[in-house]
């Protein structure tokens, strides 16, 4: 077969997906096996359905891998085939935004962590005005905080700024 695939061989990417699903199924089977046996009597115990779902995922993973080996399905997805190349800058900045949130939220509180995340996500999508984003970000995160904590009555935890409010 002399087919050319844009983006460096999509059947290989499809095979990766198939193997991932297979792995997920095997992991589920292991987790089902690890469920302790119940001392209670039951017609269907706690393990039956996890085993079943795990087995189904293994079968589906094999099916997807087989489909990938026959050429894959990505070439039929117009959106993926016509997509521009991976934007590493956008993904990197967005990923940094998510990591910042995880690292800072317990320490500095939601408002500060989310404001930093807001600025990073804006620049990921090409905003060139970080100071303006910072100002909007503070308003948006404070608004979200007040809406959730005061109107919906959700506890958003303590933080540096939340303590003052």
Q: Which helix (H) or strand (E) holds 131?
A: helix 130-146
Nearer to another protein, 2 or 39 (CB): 39
In the complex, the smallest distance separating the C-beta of residue 5 from another protein, rounded to whole angstroms, is: 14
114 token code pair: 């989310």
DSSP classification of residue 74? G
Nearer to another protein, 5 or 148 (CB): 148
16 token code pair: 């990766």
In the complex, the smallest distance separating the C-beta of residue 95 from another protein, rounded to whole angstroms, is: 9
Half-sphere exposure of 74 (CA within 13 A, CB side): 23
Nearer to another protein, 2 or 91 (CB): 91
Angle between helices 10-33 and 48-69 (to 10 degrees): 160
In the complex, the smallest distance separating the C-beta of residue 1 from another protein, rounded to whole angstroms, is: 21
In the complex, the smallest distance separating the C-beta of residue 161 from another protein, rounded to whole angstroms, is: 14
Nearer to another protein, 3 or 61 (CB): 61
Dihedral of the CA atoms 122, 119, 88, 22 (nearest 10)?
-90
């Amino acid at each position: 077969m002399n087919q050319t695939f844009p983006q460096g061989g999509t059947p290989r990417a499809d095979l990766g997906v198939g193997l991932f699903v297979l792995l997920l199924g095997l992991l589920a089977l292991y987790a089902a096996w690890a469920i302790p046996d119940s001392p209670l009597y039951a017609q269907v115990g706690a393990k039956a359905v996890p085993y079943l779902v795990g087995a189904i995922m293994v079968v589906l993973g094999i099916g997807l891998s087989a489909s990938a080996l026959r050429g894959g399905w990505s070439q039929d997805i117009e959106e993926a085939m016509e997509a521009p190349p991976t934007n590493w800058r956008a993904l990197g900045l967005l990923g940094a935004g998510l990591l910042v949130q995880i690292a800072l939220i317990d320490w500095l509180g939601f408002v500060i962590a989310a404001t930093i995340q807001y600025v990073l996500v804006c620049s990921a999508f090409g905003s060139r005005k970080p100071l303006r984003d910072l100002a909007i970000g503070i308003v948006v995160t404070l608004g979200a905080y007040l809406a959730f904590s005061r109107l919906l009555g959700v506890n958003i935890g303590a933080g540096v700024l939340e303590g003052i409010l």
